Structures are given as C-alpha cells and as structure tokens.
Structure 1
Amino acid sequence: MPEFFSLQEIDEAAQSIRQRLKAQPSVGLVLGSGLGGLADQVQNAVYIEYATIPHWPVSTVPGHAGRLVIGELAGKIVLVQQGRAHFYEGYSMAEVTLPVRVMRRLGIETVILTNAAGAIHPEFEPGDVMLITDHLSLIGMTGFNPLRGPNLEELGPRFPDMSQVYDRELMQLTREEAQKAGIALREGVYVGLSGPSFETPADLRFLRLIGADAVGMSTVPEAIVAKHSGMRVLAFSGISNKANLDGNTITTHEEVLEAGKQIVPKLETLITRVLQRLSSR
C-alpha cells in the first residue's frame, strides 16, 4: 500500500488512459454509492476497467462498478469514475485520491464529485440532493490529510488555500438550474469521516453541534487534492438516510443503495444542465 505516489507513477496511470481516449475530456465526474447510473447517459463511451490502469485502486464496495466511462454528456467530453475507492477499504490517502491527480494530468480542469450521505440537518430527507458549500475534514484534521508527504510542485503549492474549495460560479449555476427544473436543492456542510461503521447517536449530535448538515465516508480528500491542483470543484451529496440521533433506527448500506434510485434522476438533471451551461460558453 503506497503512502505516496511520484509524478512518474501518476503519469503512468494517465498515459494508460490517454492511449485509449477518442477525445480530450474537460470534466471529471466521481460517482458515489448507488449513483453509478449516471454513467449510463454517456454517449459514444469508452470503458476502462480500473484493474487495467497502473497503480489505480479497485473498489470493493457494492454499488461501485469499478470502471471509467469516457464519452460525451450534455455537449462536454467527460471522464466518469463509476465508483471510487475509500480509505476504510484499507487504501492510503494517496491511493484514494490518485484518480483526481490523474484527471488533472490528463488536462481536466473541472471535477464534479458525488456521494451518498446521511442527513444530519433535521429538515433533510432521504432522496434529497444537497449542494456541498463547504466541508469539515475530520480525517485530515487528525493526521490523514491527502496532501501529507512530499509535495509535487508540478501539481500545486505546499500550503494551498482552502477558503473556497467549492467553486462559487458553479454553485450559482447549479442553483439557477435547480430552480428552472423545479428541484428542491438543499445546501450545506458535508463532514467526511473514515468509516466503515456508521455513526453513533453521540457522534451525530457532536457533528450537528459543530455545523455539519450531512455525513459520509468520501469526497473531502478528493476535493482537497483537486483544489490543490487548481481544479474547479462542484460537489453533491445524495441524502440516503436520516441521521440516527436518538438511536431508534438502524442504518444499512442496502438503504443507501435504494435511496440512490430516487437521487440519480435529480443529479442527472442538475449535472447535465450545468454541463450544458458550460458548453454554451
């Protein structure tokens, strides 16, 4: 399990993908648990199994197909990561974030991250979509920051600013398109934990106290690495379950996957509309 990747190793993965491209992608998408159906909308697609890409982590979690889907979506050439690897699977932070590093080396400038998350905000319901406006990096705060280790100056600075991780223009486009489409878009702060155990009621009460609206086990490391390398970041949480603040309900991964069936059509509408706006410029 490599703790760090060299620029050469990142470029080996990028070159493996580049050799199979039909066109240059400009947007990367990362699809979370139960949200992989978005990839079905990509036209003239090229499929690349993760296992065939040097150094690339292979997801072991149900609901993560484990392949790249590269083609056209809403007028843009996109590279879709259909499933991701997680820190809780035993991968290092370098492995978890390698795909975003590779996207940047492929020339991708914008990344759209999605995840399935538990609601902490009391008004959020399963099936809602939350626009991530900021995050709490609890894993990073406790020592597992994805930028730990040798800094690759070719990718970004040693001490990158994180005051605006999520691109304000892209967020505003999303708000406008949600309103046009009649989608009730939630907004809030996402907190990333390591998992794989779901949170205790005490965990959730603490997270609510410090300002979190939704909780999950991904996305934050990818967002940090994307921002470090100068990418524009847009991110969504698909609310898959209510937070168990009182200890009276049981949370399951099956519940998360089932909620994805309600969330995918909303995310598909929002993402394609945002891409169309970007394509018209």
Structure 2
Amino acid sequence: MEPAAAARGSGYTYEQYKETADWLLAHTHHRPSLAIICGSGLGGLADLLKDPVTFNYKDIPNFPQSTVAGHAGQLVFGTLAGVTCLVMNGRFHMYEGYPLWKVTFPVRIFCLLGAKSLIVTNAAGGLNPGYQVGDIMVIRDHINMPGMAGVNPLTGPNDERFGPRFPAMSDAYDEELRSLALAVGKELGFGASLHEGTYCTLGGPNYETVAECRFLHKLGADTVGMSTVPEVIVARHCGLRVFGFSLVTNKSVLEYGARERANHAEVLEAGRHAARKLERLVSVLVERMKGKGLV
C-alpha cells in the first residue's frame, strides 16, 4: 500500500475496485443480482448454487486472503432458486490484522458487479437467555462497538461514486425482507427457534468476559460476534438492500462459576449441525424474493 493511500484512510483506489470487478466479469458469464456472505461454518450455501463458477481468493486481483478455520476463501457464482447469485465463502475480520477498508473490499466489488441486494450470515454467541444453540435470529438492528471508538470502514475521504458522506443506518436491515423471512420461517415450522433481534459486533479475537456479556445484553444486544457490521455499513453506503441472519452457535456466559467456555471448534461444529436449517431458510427466502420482484 502506498503511503498516500494510508493517509487517505483507504488502501484501495476506485480504479483498483474496478480492476477486480472487471476481471471477475471477464472470467464468468454470471451477472449476480444478489450477494451472500457466509459466516463460520456456513459455507454450505455455496454448495446449493447451480452452474457454479468458483474463484479462489488468491487468484483474484487485489483480493484479501481469509486466514480463519471454517472460511474456505472462495468466491462462487451461480444460480439459487432461479436468481443469479454470488456467494462469498469466507469473510475477513479485523482480528486477522486487516483494516476495515480491506475487510469490506468485497462489498464494493459486489456493487460494481451489479448486485442490488446483500444477505449476510454469521455464527454468533447468544446473549438473550431465551436463545438456544441452533436458533436463528433475523437481524433487526446492530450495535457497532468498534464504530463507537472511531473504527469505521468509511473513515477517510468519501468517494461519491460509491455513496454519500453520511449514510443513514436507522434502516440498515430491510424491513420487507425481515418480515418475509419471519413468514417463511413460520411456514417451514421453525417456531420458537426463529427470532428477530439485535446483533452486536466486537473486534475479537478473544471471546467476551462475563461482565462484557452482561453489559452488552443490558445495552439491548441479543447476539454477539466479530463480523458483519462493517460489511453492512459499506453495503448501505453503496445503496444495497441488506438482510442478515445470526446462527446461534454458542450461548454466551452470563454467570460467574459457569462451566461453559466458548471455543471456535465448538462454534464450527454447532454451525455444521444447524446450517442445513439456515440453508433451507435462505433458499426459500431467495425464491420468494424473486417472486415478489425484490431481487
């Protein structure tokens, strides 16, 4: 990265974003209208695509590399329920040492590829005592803890070609899509295992202390994780319609003396067990989105 780029607060120029998007468009016939970002252990969504075209991140110009177990590091184009999609199988995180302008690099690529909507998924800890491992939460809102400390992917000069200087976030998660997902979940018989709530992001990579979990729950957070929100901010800045799911893969520890301890291996295992349910929900949701002209 050039020193001038570091001073701007972003290591990528518009031309570099365009270079990556143009390279992808030249290497696949797919023109996605929907992008999906998969969280830890949730990459099975990519396996649902028909007529897939797969790119390893290392082969894509300017693309960062995923370093976390459970993130395959692949961009997969294809169709899902008749909708041309792009699935990001493996995301990037601040705790990997990446600045947020690099974490969110793919989202602006999605925009330049022509995507109009973004679905984000994550594996998260359940702060709400009513949530169980394997439950799914439709994200209604988020709490951006790094953002409150001034760590934001939009820091630096604004590029109006992507979006406005001061984007609103009060409607970050599309109300129509949330309602549609809850209705689909009810039809699929998910019942009490499907919720709607607030996701909180932290920097990681350590899991939260008991005091931190209590604090976040009192703030109104129902799930907690280390991703998603930076991507959502950049997506909304670009004008993408956004919808999100948290898959509860562990219960956050809210009591001292509890024997439970969160660890990444258990998160991945819980994700594998419950992922089929989330995949089914996303598949039917995309089909309904198409039927309603929402994608």
Pick the TM interval, shorter chain: over 0.9
The DSSP-based 3-state class of the residue aligned with 2:22 is: helix
C-alpha deviations, 1:12-34, integer Å up to 9, x for none? 11112111122211000000001
CA distance in 2, matches of 1:44, 1:76: 12
- What are the ranges of 5 or more consecutive residues in structure 1 without an aligned counterpart? none
TM-score (norm 2): 0.93
Pick the aligned partner of 2:172 from 162, 165, 168: 165
Q: Where does residue 280 of structure 2 map in the other structure? A: 269
Q: Where does residue 183 of structure 1 map in the other structure? A: 190
Counterparts of 1:1-281 in structure 2, within 5 Å, are 3-4=9-10, 5-184=12-191, 185-247=194-256, 248=258, 249-280=260-291, 281=293
Indicate if the aligned counterparts of 1:35 and 1:263 stay in contact, CA closer than 8 A: no
CA distance in 1, matches of 2:255, 2:248: 18
**Amino acid of the structure 1 residue aligned with 2:270:** A
**Amino acid of the structure 1 residue aligned with 2:101:** A
The DSSP-based 3-state class of the residue aligned with 2:104 is: helix
Count of residues in correspondence between the two structures = 281
Shift of 1:250: 1.1
Identical amino acids, percent of aligned pairs: 47
TM-score (norm 1): 0.98
C-alpha deviations, 1:5-59, integer Å up to 9, x for none? 2111111111121111222110000000011111111111000010111221111
Shift of 1:273: 1.0
CA distance in 1, matches of 2:227, 2:282: 19
CA distance in 1, matches of 2:15, 2:116: 20
CA distance in 2, matches of 1:186, 1:174: 10
Deviates more, 1:261-270 or 1:139-148: 261-270
C-alpha deviations, 1:148-199, integer Å up to 9, x for none? 0111101100001111000011111101111111113111100000000000
Indicate if the aligned counterparts of 1:45 and 1:72 stay in contact, CA closer than 8 A: yes
CA distance in 1, matches of 2:148, 2:28: 38
The DSSP-based 3-state class of the residue aligned with 1:24 is: coil
**Amino acid of the structure 1 residue aligned with 2:290:** S
CA distance in 2, matches of 1:41, 1:28: 14
Q: Which runs of 4+ in 1 moved over 4 A?
A: none
RMSD between superposed Cα atoms in Å: 1.0
